[in-house]
């Protein structure tokens, strides 16, 4: 599995406040998954990390962006979850249609 090299967020792109690396319990009330996130100290923006690393899963996302990403997954994921195409193939098709490299095609 290739892990995209997202830069570690230091300053929030939404409000320009500092971003900290912390437990995801500050968001969910208890730790889930690998338990770590980058979280803005000034607004609700955050991003999780790849398991076993401190590499962000994507970019900081505020509530609006998180809702839009969920909506995209709701529309996109049934194609590969139905086993009509493999997940990688679905992302390859999407990348082709968007005119971007497949390794940059994701909803993170």
Q: Per-residue pLDDT for 70 more than 60?
A: yes
Inform me whether the pLDDT recorded for 1 exceeds 80: no
Lowest model confidence (mean pLDDT) among 14-18, 38-42, 51-55, 72-76: 51-55
pLDDT per residue over 50-60, tens digit each? 998 999 988 99
- How far apart, in whole angstroms, are the C-alpha atoms of residue 74 and residue 50? 22
Strands 36-40 and 19-23: antiparallel
Alpha-carbon radius of gyration of the chain:
15
CA distance 37 to 64: 18
Is the backbone of residue 89 left (phi > 0), alpha (psi -120 to 50) or beta? Answer: alpha
Total-model pTM: 0.81
Confidence check: pLDDT of 86 > 90: yes
What's the confidence (pLDDT) of residue 106?
A: 84
């Amino acid at each position: 599995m290739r892990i995209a090299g997202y830069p570690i967020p230091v300053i929030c792109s939404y409000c320009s406040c500092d971003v900290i690396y912390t437990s995801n319990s500050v968001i969910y009330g208890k730790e889930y998954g690998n338990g770590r996130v980058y979280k803005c100290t000034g607004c609700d923006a955050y991003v999780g990390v790849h398991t076993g690393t401190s590499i962000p899963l994507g970019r900081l996302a505020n509530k609006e962006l998180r809702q839009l990403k969920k909506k995209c997954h709701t529309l996109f994921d049934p194609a590969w979850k139905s086993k009509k195409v493999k997940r990688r193939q679905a992302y390859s098709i999407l990348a082709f249609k968007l005119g971007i490299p497949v390794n940059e095609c994701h909803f993170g």
